[in-house]
Structure 1
């Protein structure tokens, strides 16, 4: 029952509202050209929006768990969207942001602690795991909607590029998080359907799943194939490869800028 959840347990955290405000300010600066260096505005906007999506990702896990029977979720603070309440702030926020800064890769983070023993039914366990990456899918649809709806007339190129790069991050996060690797949500979807013996054998690898994925993506051939797939998916959603590339180029404002990424006209 959800009646045990206090109103204060569901009140949106000022921390989250502050992140949203900073994101909006970055978006406004990218749109209006307010910042002397447009890359700074893109960095603030994309980083803020990425953290917002991480919070919503974890909120989706928590909210689904709550309605599936884990009434302890509220007391843990997960329903407030406060990233400081996560069990591993390093994995949930800091590492995913560092991955974006280092390589433009939307690696998923972890995690809210769900008391699985309170939840009955394999389908419920699978849905709890799927809820997070499905949030990234929804976020990607929102980011790409102006592109596939052809609704970008009058939108400044800087903001357009930023939106394209943000969409790339959401698509990569959804795709990677759905991988059936222990420690990722994709494995959480199928885990309830595996035998007890297989689950016990794979359990020790869960803490290293995310790092293993990151390591594999450092292999040049795998990296190229992966981003070719991402570019193809973005292309189906109306985003050209150069748009997401220019968005990433602007985001890394401290690095050398590509003169081919025009910012007006």
Structure 2
């Protein structure tokens, strides 16, 4: 089968992704209207589904940029369908990031699609492919925070506002962590083409452990404090206060909601 013949099906949006979008839409509606008997459960499903959608778009951005840079193999691998089960590391791409959200309210980056770098020419193209994913998180964060920095919160239900605030927190943390120049993360992929061959050879063995290294560093109280100070500063600049993100996270973890965040407002 020729490439031209295969491309339409290779780019057809997956029913799995559409199903996840549908879950996000329905639970978002339930959160907005207060339809659900358990508002925390609706927020949990809405934020989780929206977070998975953003992960799919993150990986799609990598693949789509690679396609236009010369790697036509991404279509046959199913990366352009937005189907999360097609990723080379579905566990790292979807399961672990969702667990990190539930446990710590952090949007840790996931695994990546496999790009055949040998098909791509030019350092700028390699850097752009790596940057495309976290830039998607940046765009997602801008969309989530739009009602806040546009001062358009009149009429927005409290639970929906808190859900958006927490979802924005996830996108900001994901963007920052992804842009760190740590082997195995997108930030290193941005700078790697500009490093000498010797440096790349020395750093390469660390790539499989990059995500674990970041996770371990975030457990150090001093580094964790600095990281979230930066995150909070960015969110405040976008109009989201600490109380909104805190209560958004507590509402998301509906099984142990703080009494401070149960009062309507």
Q: Same fold (TM over 0.5)?
A: yes
- Distance in 2, Cα, partners of 1:182 & 1:162: 32
Which aligned segments of 4 or more residues in structure 1 are displaced greater than 2 angstroms? 2-5, 262-265
Q: Does the C-alpha gap of structure 1 residues 128 and 73 become closer, same or farther in structure 2, counting only changes over 3 Å? A: same
User: In the alignment, what sits opposite 2:261?
Assistant: 261
CA distance in 1, matches of 2:125, 2:229: 34
| Cα shift readout 1:217-252 (whole Å, capped 9, x = no counterpart) | 011111122111111100000001100110000001
Aligned-residue offset at 1:263? 4.8
Pair 1:36-2:37 in alignment: yes
Q: TM-score, normalised by structure 2?
A: 0.97
8 A Cα contact 1:69 1:118, kept in partner: yes
Q: How big is the shift at 1:262?
A: 4.6
Q: What do residues 155-202 of structure 1 show as CA deviations (whole Å, max 9, x unaligned)?
A: 100000000000000000000000000000000000000000000000
Q: Give the match's secondary structure for 2:259.
A: coil
**d(CA) in 2 for partners of 1:251, 1:94:** 17
- Asked whether the 8 Å contact 1:178–1:186 carries over to 2, the reply is yes
| Aligned residue number for residue 50 of structure 1 | 51
Provide the C-alpha distance between the structure 2 equivalents of 1:148 and 1:261, rounded to a whole number of angstroms.
22
Q: Which residue of 1 aligns with 2:125?
A: 124
Output the CA distance in 2 between the equivalents of 1:236 and 1:39: 27
CA distance in 2, matches of 1:194, 1:73: 26
- Match for residue 246 of structure 1? 247
**Post-superposition shift, 1:26?**
1.1
Q: Which sections of structure 1, spanning at least 5 residues, go unmatched? A: none
Equivalent position of 2:231 in the other structure: 230
Question: Paired residue for 2:75?
Answer: 74
1:87 is paired with a residue of what secondary structure? coil
Match status 1:208 vs 2:222: no
CA distance in 2, matches of 1:139, 1:13: 21
Which has more helix, going by share of residues? 2
**Aligned-residue offset at 1:35:** 1.5
Moved more, 49-58 or 220-229: 220-229
| 8 Å contact kept, 1:4–1:71 | no
Q: Are the aligned partners of 1:157 and 1:263 in contact in 2 as well (CA < 8 Å)?
A: no
Task: Tell me what 2:164 maps to.
Answer: 163
Q: Secondary structure at the match of 2:258?
A: coil
CA distance in 1, matches of 2:81, 2:13: 4
- 1:168-179 mapped onto 2 (5 Å cutoff): 168-179=169-180
Cα distance in 2 for partners of 1:4, 1:211 equals 41
Alignment partners' CA distance in 2, 1:200 and 1:74: 29
Distance apart, 1:259 and its partner CA: 2.0
* Deviation per residue, 1:103-140 (Å, 9 max, x gap): 00000001100000000000000000000000000000
Gaps of 5+ in 2: none
Aligned residues: 263
RMSD, aligned CA: 1.1
